[in-house]
A and B are shown apart, each in its own frame.
Chain A
Amino acid sequence: MAVAHTAPSAFLSIPPQKLSSFASPKTPFLGFPVAVAPKPFVQARALTLAKPTPNQIRCQGDAVIPKEQKWMFDESNINGPDIWNKTWYPKAADHVNTEKTWYVVDATDKILGRLASTIAIHIRGKNLATYTPSVDMGAFVIVVNAEKVAVSGKKRTQKLYRRHSGRPGGMKVETFDQLQQRIPERIIEHAVRGMLPKGRLGRALFTHLKVYKGPNHPHEAQKPIELPIRDKRVQVQK
């Protein structure tokens, strides 16, 4: 509560224009049926299930249930689905690949692990309210200038990348430096893959990471935006 002396109303801002870019669920998710074109964000309403006003009912009509049949409609969805007793689960329309956000990040002089951590969080979708562990709700991330990524300390010559071919004596060891000369993209891919979940979904998530060597990437058509990095120590201190 050390922050109580600052202006309380400005603390968690309610930016209406920002809300339309949030990954709000695409399927209508309210306590009452809505019109066909959903608004980008919802005005704050009372939390109780409101009686549907006339301009909000789509095709339900005036559902007048005779008194002796009311028990049959106790659990029906006439007034909309019960959002307070069923936790939201994404429908197919909520995770279409073509409508996901694309982020781009320049890896020049960024600490490898901290950068990979932020990337993995965005790919997995853990920064979203609609996070679901069983569904791919994350965004796509493009990394450019992968060969310029930095590490602290003596890791440049001492960090080892190992792989094994499966045959006896088939262990291949490489230092960070050598791998950066050979295949610089693999460094970032290796780091991010270690931070994504291992499994079928994790492998699918990994395909949402695109790493490139130079400053160019072929995804201009997806209009990627800058990846917001909250870590203050990700940039190498010169």
Chain B
Amino acid sequence: MTRIKRGYIARRRRTKIRLFASTFRGAHSRLTRTITQQKMRALVSAHRDRGKQKRNFRRLWITRINAVIRENREEGVSYSYSRLIHDLYKRQLLLNRKILAQLAISNRNCLYMISNEILK
């Protein structure tokens, strides 16, 4: 077999990885072996958290809706997020929690009007 040096093959591969980790802190953007490991961990975290992102945002929307719905009920019976969703489903209203939460922040009157409507 003729002698073959690897030349710049490894270096080219590692440069790409180094570019990915170029903004990492400390040794994680300077040392080659650490860079490889940190890129792997970063991609794993990103993959896993793309699924969690959907869960987290839904949690946030539910908490925000619950906060607004519970707040304005001193005079009547205490209304809650669970009852609101139940009434929404009964009236077959397709508003999702994201829209309801954004409504709660930007235009609270609208949310109240919607819940008054579905309460009837």
Q: What chain B residues lie within 8 Å of A83 (beta carbons)? A: 102, 106
| Bitwise interface map of A from 116 to 130 toward B, beta carbon under 8 Å scored 1, else 0 | 000000000011111
A195 to B87, CA, bound (A): 32
Query: Is B67 within 8 A of A87, CB to CB?
Result: no
Query: Is B107 within 8 A of A88, CB to CB?
Result: no
How many residues from B make CB contacts under 8 Å with A?
Answer: 37
Query: Is A87 within 8 A of B60, CB to CB?
Result: yes
Q: What chain B residues lie within 8 Å of A128 (beta carbons)? A: 67
Query: Is A11 within 8 A of B109, CB to CB?
Result: no
Residue B115 lies at the interface, judged by CB distance under 8 Å to chain A = yes
Q: What chain B residues lie within 8 Å of A129 (beta carbons)? A: 64, 67-68, 101, 104-105, 108
Task: Please choose the segment from A2-10, A51-59, A68-76, A142-150 that sits at the chain B interface, where 4 or more of its residues have CB less than 8 A away.
Answer: A2-10
How many residues from A make CB contacts under 8 Å with B?
Answer: 38
Q: B interface, by DSSP: helix, strand, loop or mixed? A: helix
Q: Which residue of B lies closest to A132 (CB)?
A: B60
Query: Is A8 within 8 A of B68, CB to CB?
Result: no
Q: Given B63, B77, B78, B102, which contacts A88 in the complex, CB threshold below 8 Å?
A: B102
Q: Which residue of B lies closest to A16 (CB)?
A: B109
Chain A residues packing against B (C-beta within 8 Å): 1, 3-4, 6, 8-14, 19, 22, 24-25, 29-31, 41-45, 47, 83-84, 87-88, 126-133, 228, 230
Chain B residues packing against A (C-beta within 8 Å): 57, 60-61, 63-64, 67-68, 70-79, 87, 90, 98-99, 101-110, 112-113, 115-116, 119-120
Known: A12-B72, A45-B110. 17 other contacts (CB 8 A): A3-B76, A3-B77, A8-B119, A11-B76, A11-B115, A14-B113, A19-B109, A25-B105, A41-B109, A45-B107, A47-B103, A87-B60, A127-B67, A129-B64, A129-B104, A230-B74, A230-B78
